[in-house]
Structure 1
Amino acid sequence: MAQIDNQPTVAVVTLHNSPNYGSCLQTYATQKVLSDMGAVPSIVDYYRADAIPENETDRALNGQVAKKMPIFKIPGVKALARIPVSRMVKRRAAPLNAFRHSKLNLTSRPYYSIEELEKDPPRADIYCTGSDQVWNSLWNKGFEKAFYLTFAPEGAKRIAYAASIGKSSLEDWEIKPMREALSKYSHISVREAEAAELLDSIGIHGAVPVIDPTLMLAKDDWSVLHSDDVPHEPYILIYQLNRNHEFDEYARKLSEKLGLPLYRIAYGVNERRAGVHTIVCPSVEQFVSLFMQAEYVVTDSFHGTAFSMNLSKKFVSISPGRFSGRIMNLLEMTGETGQYLQDYRDFSVVDNPINYEHVQQVFAAKRAETQAFLHTAIND
């Protein structure tokens, strides 16, 4: 791997504290990639308003799942639910927070608003927008200025590494502030080719599509995050982010077809299903090891799909509904669109041969392209 000159410090701002394993692991991978190249990365410990720990219970009580539950429309129910929901939120956050504080080089202080960042920005040679859906105004509920590095000192070097817009079009209102902010970047890379096209359409030219940071680390790199607390029998792993009865039924029938037990990674006890071994809020090391040891994986997650492919697993990828384009981009890039389930009656998907020799060749080539981008972006 080509080394970066002079060990520059790089302040990375990304969705490192979203309450899911994918966000946590892409941040870890970003940090390791930059460090392995000779840079000195730090992760800006920035919290969106709804990600501030004190606000997470309110977010859960007012989120999409709660809105779909008629019981929460009854006066007083939310107040009664606050204590158990708060406990659930804390349990979900605990393993992710433990990993962040032990494995990530966080800035010396947290930032709870863009005003705090602009008043006292972290010092660095380079400021970097990291991966995940940092430029998705739907996901971020608006234009999140911190992810556009508006806090960086005037004249500071700004780059983006594997940033994602996560949707197929931009709202009229966001085009101007996006163009103004990104015009200050010297180098931009994005996670989807579609994002590069969107940026080009608003006058931000030359964005380079690169692979997700989690794919920059090979199996041996991930094996460092090891846990023995995994099943010692062959099993089907379920990693499901979106409530979907058809998904549940498909996994159950697949278990019957293959004669293998189901193990589900869950964020809460409410995700338990009859006949399924449910592992609630595993440690990050256990999460990685569950993928490592699985015989099959069934997932509607981008990072679930990426991990399955990176670790050469048999898998089925199911549409999550919105934001599914990045999963299809990954499957198209590797020539494995046959693993994307089109019909819940189709169980032949698991029998499709996956050409992992070709997949790993694609990943190796994409890693080299990404390293070349980063080397240029940081050294220029």
Structure 2
Amino acid sequence: MKICTITCHDVYNFGASLQAYALQHYLKSLGHEVEIIDYRPSYLYKKYDWKAFTNKKLERINSIFITRWIFRCAKWSYLRFSLGRKKRFDEFTQKYLHLTPTTYHTFAELQHNPPQAAIIIAGSDQIWNPLFPNGKDPSYYMDFALPNTKRISYAASFSVNEIPNAYKTFIKALLLKMDAISVREYQGLHILKDLGINNGIKVLDPIFLIDKTEWTQFMNRYNDKNYILIYDFEGNALLKKTALHFKKKYGLKIYSINDALPRFYADKNFTNVGPQDFIGLIYNCSLFLSNSFHGTAFSIYFNKPFYVFGLTGFSLNSRMDSLLRTVSLENRFINEYTKLDNLCMECDYEKANQAIKKETILSKQYLSNMIN
């Protein structure tokens, strides 16, 4: 049948691109015709627009001619370091993501000309995060769908522990219009129950729907071995300290995947890389250190030693907490109280692999039941 998905599919983020591909690929493998709704709201697609402000706190700068152009020049200087990265993502999207012929920029456009599909699936990733504009956008709750179109979610994420009171009524009303709801975190189930919705279930992120051998065939291969791989969104001081600790202890080099500027303490920096490089670098590493949800998910799937770091100043660590609880690896989360001398490279994956196998069966069964 014809299925459409809606997610944050092309925001120059490794996890966003790979989860969008994974759900599409799995549904196609079941014999369905699948399109990702090419929804590009302005608030999500400002990253590589050198004239756009991505932070509302900086909007005042835009009203002053001199500061506006100082900001634009500074942003262009920053972006030029990662134009090769942008190219790799654009190539990935063009080659692997089957998008709707129509590109939509607003909820009104989706309402005026909704995609024709038997089912629309919302998810995965942080599409319902109320701290971000997408969590308050009715598009990601499929409120534009035609009356005869089935609306379900797959592994949708709120990314927070609770919904602010100001948005509860709005979000609940949209969720009640859906035919079935599945979320990615335990905290998502608690949020649903708090809203009076008791029929939600927890499923695995879409990357686990694809067999790991398929991922190894899909990834870009690297010959490098015996390195610590870091992927750090925010220049986390504890992550840096931990990487240097393991480097000294085991004599391994540090490789860093970057969004733009390099990590100067790393022996090798990878900036102009795409989603398939991301998987390949994780697959080959000896240890993965990151505050990336999907990076951690792939390291678990490939049974790589890893440690997770929280995002400073954000209430988004429920994603990591839930994933680690699911696979009984809570001890791989590092905080400021962790004693580095007590950390080791070894990681016992017996329980984790059993949990992934069990949860994958349940996740696939949910999709099968909803589609059929």
Common fold: TM-score over 0.5: yes
Q: Are 2:127 and 2:135, in contact at CA under 8 Å, matched by a contact in 1?
A: no
What are the superposed Cα offsets for residues 186-227 of structure 1, whole Å, 9 maximum, x if unpaired?
Answer: 111000121112112212220010111112223202112232
Shift of 1:89: 6.0
Q: Quote the Cα distance in structure 2 between the aligned partners of 1:363 and 1:185.
A: 27
Closer, same or farther in 2 for the Cα pair 1:86/1:336, shift >3 Å?
closer
Closer, same or farther in 2 for the Cα pair 1:221/1:75, shift >3 Å?
closer
Instruction: Find out whether 1:290 has 2:281 as its counterpart.
Output: yes
Structure 1 residues 230-309: aligned runs within 5 Å:
230-268=222-260, 270-309=261-300
Q: Quote the Cα distance in structure 1 between the aligned partners of 2:224 and 2:130.
A: 43
Instruction: Find out whether 1:349 has 2:340 as its counterpart.
Output: no
Structure 1 length as normaliser, TM-score? 0.89
Helix, strand or coil at the partner of 2:155: strand
Structure 1 residues 206-245: aligned runs within 5 Å:
206-228=199-221, 230-245=222-237
Q: Quick one: which of 276, 287, 309 aligns to 1:318?
A: 309
Q: Quote the Cα distance in structure 1 between the aligned partners of 2:122 and 2:134.
A: 18
Q: Are 1:57 and 1:86, in contact at CA under 8 Å, matched by a contact in 2?
A: yes
What are the superposed Cα offsets for residues 5-37 of structure 1, whole Å, 9 maximum, x if unpaired?
Answer: xxx111100011122101000111111221223
Q: Quote the Cα distance in structure 2 between the aligned partners of 1:142 and 1:375.
A: 27
Q: Quote the Cα distance in structure 2 between the aligned partners of 1:142 and 1:21.
A: 20
Helix, strand or coil at the partner of 2:334: coil
Q: Quote the Cα distance in structure 2 between the aligned partners of 1:221 and 1:260.
A: 29
Shift of 1:65: 11
Identity of aligned residues (%): 26
Residue identity in the other structure for 2:352: V
Residue identity in the other structure for 1:44: I
Residue identity in the other structure for 1:307: F
Q: Quick one: which of 67, 89, 97 aligns to 2:90?
A: 97
Q: Are 2:309 and 2:334, in contact at CA under 8 Å, matched by a contact in 1?
A: yes
Structure 2 length as normaliser, TM-score? 0.90
Gapped runs of 5+ residues in structure 2?
A: 61-65
Helix, strand or coil at the partner of 2:102: coil
Shift of 1:90: 4.0
Shift of 1:54: 8.5
Q: Are 1:263 and 1:279, in contact at CA under 8 Å, matched by a contact in 2?
A: yes
Partner of 1:111: 104
Closer, same or farther in 2 for the Cα pair 1:61/1:361, shift >3 Å?
closer
Give the alignment's Cα RMSD to 1 decimal. Answer: 2.4
Q: Are 1:49 and 1:55, in contact at CA under 8 Å, matched by a contact in 2?
A: no
Partner of 2:63: none
Gapped runs of 5+ residues in structure 1?
A: 1-7, 68-72
Q: Quote the Cα distance in structure 2 between the aligned partners of 1:375 and 1:62.
A: 41
Instruction: Find out whether 1:328 has 2:321 as its counterpart.
Output: yes
Partner of 1:15: 8
What are the superposed Cα offsets for residues 141-180 of structure 1, whole Å, 9 maximum, x if unpaired?
Answer: 6611110101111242111111011111112221122122
Q: Quote the Cα distance in structure 2 between the aligned partners of 1:146 and 1:34.
A: 21
Instruction: Find out whether 1:162 has 2:155 as its counterpart.
Output: yes
Q: Quote the Cα distance in structure 2 between the aligned partners of 1:215 and 1:64.
A: 38
Q: Are 1:17 and 1:24, in contact at CA under 8 Å, matched by a contact in 2?
A: yes
Helix, strand or coil at the partner of 1:97: helix
Q: Quote the Cα distance in structure 1 between the aligned partners of 2:263 and 2:57.
A: 19
Partner of 2:113: 120
Helix, strand or coil at the partner of 2:115: coil
Residue identity in the other structure for 1:94: K
Q: Quote the Cα distance in structure 2 between the aligned partners of 1:119 and 1:348.
A: 59
What are the superposed Cα offsets for residues 107-145 of structure 1, whole Å, 9 maximum, x if unpaired?
Answer: 112111111111111111111111001111212366111
Shift of 1:354: 2.4
Instruction: Find out whether 1:135 has 2:128 as its counterpart.
Output: yes
Closer, same or farther in 2 for the Cα pair 1:53/1:318, shift >3 Å?
closer
